[in-house]
Amino acid sequence: MKILIINGPNLNLLGLREPEIYGNQNYASLCALIDDTCKELGVDHEIFQSNHEGAIVDKIQDAYGKFDGIVINPAAYTHTSVAILDALKAVSIPTVEVHISDINSRDEFRKHSYISLTAIKTVMGLGFEGYKVAIEHLYDFLK
Ligand code: CA2
């Protein structure tokens, strides 16, 4: 089993600001948690982060035939990107959406997610731990 973890814009800056929303750990700590979770489950994985919508679309297209599942935090593109939604639908790879914060209890514009229209599950509001929950859910779904 091989899964792809995709992180969208500005997640590479975690820990710099807004610790009350995103915590005070940095992106390297998040990647370490993802690595540990996948190791525990015996799952091969790759982590990809980009600040560019087209690069994320390219990565999803390239995942076809190479990955069994995707965990994605599209960050701000969650609320705007029909292109990422269409790419996920096109490759039809089971996808779990994850958000560090609870997007339903923040700004009105964050309440809508295009990605939820195709995700098998959305995990939110659990901090970094949400990635562990998302990976475990995807693993249970795929095994
Ligand atoms: O809660 C989440 O995981 C989000 O996907 C994070 C996005 C936000 O646009 C979504 O609405 C919810 C933002 C990611 C990065 O934000 C930073 C803000 C300040 C400092 C570092 C990162």
Measure 77 CA to ligand 1 centroid, in angstroms. Answer: 10
Q: Give the residues of the chain that fall short of pLDDT 70.
A: none
Ligand 1 binding pocket includes 73 (Cβ within 6 Å): yes
Kindly state if the Cβ of 99 falls inside 6 Å of ligand 1.
yes
Would you kindly state where each structural domain of the chain is located, as residue ranges? 2-142
- The reported pLDDT for the residue numbered 106 is 97
* Dihedral pair phi/psi, residue 95, rounded to 5°: -130, 130
Which pLDDT tens digit goes with each residue over 45-79? 999 999 999 999 999 999 999 999 999 999 999 99
Beta strands in 2-136 (DSSP E): 2-7, 44-49, 69-73, 95-99, 121-124
pTM greater than 0.95 = yes
CATH architecture, domain defined by 2-142: 3-Layer(aba) Sandwich (3.40)
